[in-house]
Structure 1
Amino acid sequence: MSGIGPPEPGEGTRARDDRQPEAASPAGRGHPSPAAWYARHRRIVIALAAAAVLLGGGGYLYATRPQQPPPHPPRGPAQAPYPAQVVDVTYLDARTPPPGAPPRSFGFAVLMSVASGPPVTVTRVGQPYAGLALTTEPPAPLRIRAHTARKITITMHVTECEKAPRDAGLPFLDVTLRNTRAIQTQSFIPGPRYAQDLSHALEVACSNRTR
């Protein structure tokens, strides 16, 4: 017989009626099909999927939520300015040396100020000439707070006229400074008036002239 029709089930197979619900199949007749397994467990699958969506959505919201900026770290030693950046030296005038000063002595006054940052300690004040010695009043070390200034009287005396400059063209002061950031030695040029007063004092100290 010829024609086209549905194939007959082979030996050992069972025809499946698609109109019959899977749940109506008698129990114990082989393993359920994937469709039947999904129908029986779809509630669990739906619950797991919903949980995954909630967890994923929560993570997405957390990842995209604007983060609060971290608090500014406290200003520690590494963030403080270098002492030479905030210290200024201003020349005031010539001074009479204090009583008891060695022969061939003369004095000056300067103003040291600190613009900002932690307090600065002046640990030493020096000058570059071999034939001169120097002391300060108040003596070093001395501490200067930010936004304040201190007047320092410098007394020099000539130890050897042969090594002292006859004409101090551009004299400077070496000042060693310390704060919480660093220790620095900075050369400050007090200006032309200091150069003139120093040259005059040296000329008087190393000659028979008097002021």
Structure 2
Amino acid sequence: MPLAIKLLKEAGAKGIIFATYARDGLDILEDCGSMPCVLVDFEVAQQIKQSADENTALLVKVAAARTSIGDEVFAPKISTFSSRGPSPLWPDFLKPDVAAPGSNILAAVEDSYKFFSGTSMACPHVSGVAALLKAFHPDWSPAIIKSALVTTAINDRSGLPILADGLPQKIADPFDYGGGFIDPNRAIDPGLAYDVDLEHYNSFLECFYGNSSCEI
């Protein structure tokens, strides 16, 4: 990317139209450096290219970014890089389990702040919720905590469906978000949660690795 920007500047370019998957790719803007940069999805990029090839006029509106708070944030989205099910090793197991917030999180880095993305941001959120549930229910096993998170997760916000980023963008399904997005307040009192004995995991692994005496 830095080399491409250098070559564009040498060629007299005044800005970059960055075609990418439909997503909130704020981290990409860092790669643009001092060059003005606009992110568009591939459909819009194709329209721009067609207009340039045919030398026709194309009206484009670029609005300044704005911050939405509270009721204006209708629904979370599943990032393009989030894991998708079913499990490639064990298709009979429904995966993923749940989704957690963690894309483009403003994080402290080396005495400054920058946007971080990925499961490294979602993991501490769901881990923290699990720790809170354990503090609230000291007798709960890890399996019960996981079950409580899955069975109380939600798959819509403000009556709108959750979307899955990608090409094309689509309405997310359980293979995108599992049980849904975690809801800590509901997970405290799930009503129904399932426990799993450690021996059940051992039995499954013995069968998976070809132990002739396995029992499930």
Q: Where on the TM-score scale, by shorter chain, does this alignment land: which range?
A: under 0.3
- TM-score relative to the length of structure 2: 0.19
- TM-score relative to the length of structure 1: 0.20
Q: Name the one with the larger strand percent.
A: 1
Q: Name the one with the larger helix percent.
A: 2
- State which structure, 1 or 2, has the greater radius of gyration over its C-alpha atoms: 1
Q: 1 or 2 for the larger relative contact order (CA 8 Å, sep ≥6)?
A: 2
